[in-house]
Copies of this chain bind each other. A is one copy, B any other.
Amino acid sequence: MASPTPTLLLLTIFFFISASADPDMLQDLCVADLSSGIKVNGFPCKDAASVTSLDFFSQGLANPGLNTLGVSLSRIDYAPGGLNPPHTHPRATEVVFVLEGTLDVGFLTTANRLISQSLKKGDVFAFPKGLVHFQKNNGKVPASVIAAFNSQLPGTQSLGATLFGSTPPVPDNILAQAFQTSPGTVKHIKTKFQPKK
């Protein structure tokens, strides 16, 4: 990347609603009780009497009240040149709708086939569950999408950051062997992903 602007400044993701529960629901509502000391698969439920419409509503912040609904939504903004770098969602398929701008997107199958497409405002594209994918704004104006997931908590594993910026770090020799490059190159890439002091 020639530009000194870091990737992460070029990309903004808002998770509006991160509802919860991909196994089937067993009641109408199970609004997450985030203050509970009990932890279960997903979240425990608030008492029904304290549920309000605001539990199902969001204005740009995560909405903890939607436990067990099995779907979530996020908005992603891309500056010109911005990249949502190759990543996976371990627990969901993603479908994006382009709100504005243009995007070049793609995913990779387990047969290492790249399936890519250029998108413009109003277009829709799908990224199958668990497969590596990316979106790049090659245009001169900002772009944004709404992304829908069929999991309350799809998870995001960004490959550069997880491989080269984890705590504790993945050993250099494993990364060098994996990418068939030198330990020096690995060390250099790691400096870009280290948590800032």
Chain A contacts to B: CB under 8 angstroms: 1, 6-7, 16-17, 19-30, 33, 36, 38-42, 44-47, 51-54, 56-60, 63, 66-73, 75, 83, 85-86, 88-95, 97, 99, 106-117, 119, 122-132, 134, 136, 146, 148-153, 155-157, 159-170, 173-181, 185, 188-189, 192-193
Counting every copy of the chain, the complex holds 6
Cα A181 to Cα B54 with chains together (Å): 31
A71 to chain B, nearest CB (A): 4
Q: List B contacts of A88 (CB < 8 A).
A: 88, 90, 130, 132, 157
In Å, the complex CA distance between A54 and B131 comes to 17
6 A-B pairs with the lowest CB-CB distances in the bound complex, closest first: A90-B130, A148-B148, A23-B23, A85-B178, A180-B192, A1-B177
